[in-house]
A and B are shown apart, each in its own frame.
Chain A
Amino acid sequence: MSAAALVERDFAVPDIRCAGCIAKLEQGLVRDKRIAAARVNFTEKRVHLSYMPDTDMPDLIGAFSTLGFEAHPIGNGPGEADAEAETSRELLRAVAVSGFAMMNIMLLSVSVWSGAAGATRDLFHWLSAAIALPTVAYAGRPFFRSAWRALRHGRTNMDVPISIGVALVCAISLYETATGGAHAYFDGATMLLFFLLCGRWLDSVMRDRARGGVTALLRNMGSGATVLGDDGRGRWVDATALEPGMVMLVAAGERLAADGVVVGGASQLDLSLLTGESAPQPAQPDDSVHAGTLNLEAPIRVRVTAAGADTAIADIARLMGEAAQGKSRYVRIADRAARLYAPAVHCLALMAFAGWLVAGAGWHDSLLIAAAVLIITCPCALGLAVPAAQIVAAGALMRAGVLVKDGSALERLAEVDLAFVDKTGTLTLGRPEAIGLDRLDTRAKSLILALSQASRHPLSEALTRGLQRYDVRPAEVTSVTETPGFGIEAQWAGGIVTLGRPQRGELGDALATELSVDGKSVATIRFADRLRPDAAEAIGTLARQGVEAMILSGDRAEAVAPVARQLGLTAQTGMSPQDKLDAIERQAGLGRKVLMIGDGLNDGPALAAGHASIAPGSASDVGKNAADCIFLGDRMMPVVQAVQMARRTQAVVRQNFLLAIGYNAVAVPLAFMGLVTPLVAAIAMSGSSLIVVGNALRLKGAIR
């Protein structure tokens, strides 16, 4: 087999935590003869595989799971290009080029300032021009492009004064150089670009880092199903390649990849991601089932009726498209500042030029002074003030378990004054938890652990998880067999033990399981979805911060009422995605800024429509994609921390703006009087940038 025939694909592996994991994965995966190479990217929690084209997806995922890792293919096809990461790299290249130019021009400028004159000064100015002009043409492109886009749409943003300032200063300095003048501002222009590019790059690094974290969380991305062929053999088909008419085999614990009709087997389905409904729904032959639901009990066969964009989820996607338009109208704080700032700067420069001309300074001197005003007022500190504060805050939040997708999310999060909270999976953990395990004796516990360990059924996993808190060792059982839909059976001390569906149906539709020894019931364990451990505390703290909460649930009123009572919240129940969207729009119409906290597919449109939105790490992919922030783990306090941090960040950003204004109040009159030489400009600019960055760094310790 030639090397050219290998297929390349990235896998998200969220559990890579240490150097040992890297070694285990890279050395373990290639033992499978079909995998030619494996390379771990620790930062993004990804593994890049090169493998033979005839390898099936389940085999690859199996190769990961034999090493003890859970892996999910990323993207819909092999070798997807990553456009966002490319922008980030382009910015980094521009930072490097402008940094190089800035340092070398500064080297030449220092000689000029220390008294080089005549031919030497002219030579140094020409050299500076030779370095600065290509640099501005290359490294200035992100600003020129964005300024041009804004101007063409009749708007103005931060990049307009920057672009005009840099271009004018370069032109004047070039003229000055050609006429043998004393002052050239090439160092100022490149330094300005360097600082601003640093800010821009920090902003994109922040987005990249969060995106890396989010892709690692997207479990269902690139999902698919085992499709039964005519010969009865199963083969793995990617979700995008599924077609109506195919028959999928859905094992217990698997999510459906397409809409369909059950043609074989019977099971219970967990619809909570789709509708918010917490009680499982039975699925029998001829029932129609939806993509995104979780098969709980037994394997079923499903004939696909709609796949890809035609599934019921597509309806939600349409709503989300509409909802997201509202959010795109949000104008970032730096651009809002620029709306006032840009005209002011240009007026000042124009006034300086006209004023000195009237005072009889000659148009050449007047132009130089106008250039000094432009360069001194250029929003260097402003361009750095916002991203520096936001990246420090996002870094601190990431350590606290909150992923913030971009800077504007932090700005919007700081403004919220009303929270809409989903119930299932958001206020609650969204997974069954065994209740009353501590009432069991040690023998029962060890038997249950021995049996539940052998199964990947969601209830078994809940039992295994629950029993880990107790110091129990699994009992010695032999010949364990699992019967789908009924339970697990094993030999123990000469008898037969079973763990499975309760014999008597008195428990209604509540989830329960029963341990029996030799056919006699020993223990019955119920399962329920519990509140997050600190939900009440989090809701209380939010209220004290001036953000009152309200439950919006798709679940039935009877299921929501206990939760609402426990937390002292009002609730609206049985809401469709459209209802949730309407509720948010009604509040937005009243001028409230709504924070949406939710996890399900049904929350997707609401998450997209909220002024800001947060989803738990266990949310549906749609939810995680739509939300601005994602909090990890079972605790809900990170939501509160995120809001607090966002507000603190806004405070620092405002301080930075004030610092910048104060700096301008001192520097602009000097520039007006014609006292700002290139040396003064260089000192003032770097000084103010260092101050705002230093102020932003104070946020680092804001979360303890």
Chain B
Amino acid sequence: MNGLAFLIPIALGLGLLGLAAFFWSLRKGQFDDLDGAALRIFVEEEEESV
């Protein structure tokens, strides 16, 4: 029974953490351009111009 006192808050806390991370990424616009994100790994970074 005592274990519950730790385990339940931990379980809920982890869940909330995931939810907060999702909200954060949504606000940062990470879901705005899903097809583009898949293609961007092919984009070469431009070399620093002097």
From B34, which residue of chain A is reached at the shortest CB distance? A43
Given A19-B40, A43-B32, A107-B11: A96 and B23 interface contact (C-beta under 8 Å): yes
**A residues adjacent to B (C-beta < 8 A):** 18-20, 22-23, 26-27, 40-44, 89, 92-93, 96-97, 100, 103-104, 107, 120, 123, 127, 131
Residues of chain B at interface, number, CB under 8 A: 25
CB atoms of B36 and A41 under 8 A apart? yes
Contacts A92-B26, A127-B8 given: A43-B35 contact, CB under 8 Å? yes
Q: How far is the CA of A100 from the CA of B40 in the complex (A)?
A: 30
A96 touches B11 (CB 8 A): no
- Mostly, the B contact residues are helix
List of A residues within 8 angstroms of B36 by Cβ: 22, 40-43
14 contacting pairs across A/B (C-beta < 8 A): A18-B39, A19-B39, A22-B36, A22-B39, A22-B40, A23-B44, A43-B32, A43-B35, A92-B31, A93-B26, A96-B26, A97-B19, A100-B19, A104-B15
Which 9 pairs between the two chains have the least Cβ-Cβ distance?
A42-B36, A19-B42, A19-B39, A23-B43, A41-B33, A43-B35, A100-B19, A27-B46, A43-B33
Closest residue of chain B to A44 (Cβ to Cβ) is: B33
A341 nearest CB across to chain B (Å): 33
Cα distance, A603 to B46, chains bound together (Å): 48
Smallest Cβ-Cβ distance to A16: which chain B residue? B36
Least CB distance, B5 to chain A, in whole angstroms: 10
**Closest Cβ–Cβ distance, residue B27 to chain A (whole Å):** 9
> Which of A23, A42, A93, A104 touches B12 (beta carbons < 8 Å)?
A104
12 new A-B contacts at CB < 8 Å, known A120-B4, A127-B8: A18-B39, A20-B42, A22-B36, A22-B39, A42-B35, A43-B32, A43-B34, A92-B26, A97-B19, A104-B15, A120-B1, A123-B4
Known contacts A41-B36, A42-B33, A44-B33: A93-B43 contact under CB 8 Å: no
Across the interface, do A42 and B32 meet the contact criterion of CB distance under 8 Å?
no
Closest beta carbon of chain A to B35's beta carbon, Å: 5
A26 to chain B, nearest CB (A): 8
In the docked arrangement, what's the CA distance between A92 and B22, Å?
Answer: 10
B38: shortest Cβ distance to chain A, in Å?
Answer: 8
Q: What is the minimal beta-carbon distance from B33 to any residue of chain A, in angstroms? A: 5
Give min CB distance, A306 to chain B, whole Å: 39
Task: Find the A residue at minimum CB distance from B46.
Answer: A27
A20 to B23, CA, bound (A): 31
Please name the residue on chain B nearest to A30 by beta carbon.
B46
